[in-house]
Amino acid sequence: PRGASVRFGPMLARLLAKDPARRPAGAKEVADVLELGERSDFWRRMSEQAPRLAARARLEALRRPTPTVFVGRTAERAILDRALESARRAGPHAIEVVGPPGTGRRRLCDARIGHWLVTQDRLEFLGATADTSIGATPEAPLPALLIDWLCPGERQGRALPRTRLEVRCAEELGSVFDESERRRLVTALAEDGDTDPRAEDLTDLFSRALLGSAASRGTTVVRIDRSEHLGRVARDVIRRTLSGLEGHPLLWVLVGDRPFTEQPFEGETLRVEGLDHDDFVAFGSLLFEDPSLTRSRLEPLLKDAWRSFSGQPRALIESLEDLVTDGFLQGNLGSLHSLDSEVRRLDP
C-alpha cells in the first residue's frame, strides 16, 4: 500500500532486533501494520510511548555520567514531590534547587525526575542548560527547548526546515495561537528567521507555548541547569507562566549554585547541603566491592571524611580517584578494592 515503507520502518527494526522478546509476536502483527498503518495496535502503542521515551532521552542528555549509586535525600525528595503535586493541583509552580558545587543537587534532580517519569502518568519533561557563553541571547535556552518539544529527536545539531516547525506548531499549539501568532513563534524559533522579535513578544509567545504544553500533554516539568545564568527574557517567561491559571500543571525546576538575586519568583527554594552522616558513609561504602573492607577498614575513614568534606559526595569521589591515580587504591568507582594500609585518612 501507498506509504507502507514509512509505516513499516519501526516494525522492521523490531523484526531485526537481537532480543527475541522485542520481535513481533507473529505474522498477524506484521500484517496489521501493513494493512492498518496508524490504526494498528502496534502504532497505537508506539504513539503512547513516544512522549515518555523522548522525555527520558532529554533527562539522559542532562545527566552527568557517573557510576555511583544515589543514596539518601529523603527530605529533599519529599520537597520535590510536594512541588510537583502543587503544580498539578494549583497550577504553575517553580522550585529553585541550589547549593555549592559538589553537593549533588543535579544528581538529586536526575534521580527524582527519573522516578517521576517511571511512576507518573501523563508527565512531559523538557530540559536544558542555560547558555553561559559571551553573547548568549536573553531568551536562551528556551528556543532550543521548545524546538526539542515540538520535534523530539529531529534536530540533532542542525536547523529544522521552517515548514516542519510550522506543521508541528499547528498540530500542538493550534488551540493556543492563531495563524499569525504561530508564524511569529516559528520566526522566533527558526534559525533562518529574517526578523528580530521584540522581547515582550518573545515573552508572550514562549510563555503561552509552555502553558499550552501543560494544558494539552498533562503535567510538564521544565528543568534548567545553571539557572542563575538565565537572561532577562527567559526569566520574564518564567514569571509570566507562574501567573497561569489552574489547569496548566507546569513545574519549573531551576538548578544552580545560587538563587536568583533579581526578579524573585513566586516559588520556593530548596537548598542542598552535604549528605548527612549515615548517608555519606553508606554512599562511600557502595563505592567499594569488598563489604568486609567497608566494615573494618573503610568505615572509620568515611566517618572522618564526612567531617572533612562537609558531607559533599563529589569531594569524596575526587579523594578516592586521587588515591587510585597515586597507586594507593585499585579499581573503579563501585568496584574499588585493595586500599593501601598506609592510608590513614582521606584528604580533600
Whether the CB-CB separation of 255 and 97 falls below 8 Å is answered with yes
Q: Are 51 and 121 in contact (CB under 8 A)?
A: no
Close Cβ partners of 70 (under 8 Å, ≥ 6 residues apart): 107, 108, 110, 111
- Could you tell me the sign of the dihedral formed by the alpha carbons of 310, 312, 315, 316, in that order? positive
Rounded to an integer, what distance in angstroms lies between the CA atom of residue 15 and that of residue 33?
12
Q: What is the pTM of this model?
A: 0.77
pLDDT of residue 3: 39
pLDDT < 70 regions, the chain: 1-14, 16-17, 22, 33-51, 53, 65, 67, 153-160, 191-197, 244-247, 260-265, 291-295
Cβ neighbours of residue 33 closer than 8 Å, sequence gap 6 or more:
7, 8, 11, 40, 42, 43
Residue 334 sits at φ, ψ, to 5 deg, of 95, -15
User: What is the length of the chain?
Assistant: 348
Closest-CA residue to 195 (of 184, 205, 203):
184
pLDDT of residue 51: 67
Using alpha carbons only, what angle is made at residue 157 by residues 257 and 150, rounded to the nearest 5 degrees?
80
Q: Are strands 250-256 and 268-271 parallel, antiparallel or unpaired?
A: unpaired
Contact call for residues 198 and 206 (beta carbons, < 8 A):
no
Lookup result for grid cell 563501585: 334
Rounded distance between C-alpha atoms, residue 69 and residue 286, angstroms: 7
Q: Which residues lie closer than 8 Å to 164 by C-beta, 6 or more apart? A: 151, 154
Q: Which among 268, 324, 336, 271 is positioned nearest to 298, based on CA atoms?
A: 336
**pLDDT at position 160, please?**
66
Which residue, among 196, 200, 178, has the nearest Cα to 187 in the 3D structure? 196
Instruction: Specify the residue for cell string 585518612.
Output: 345
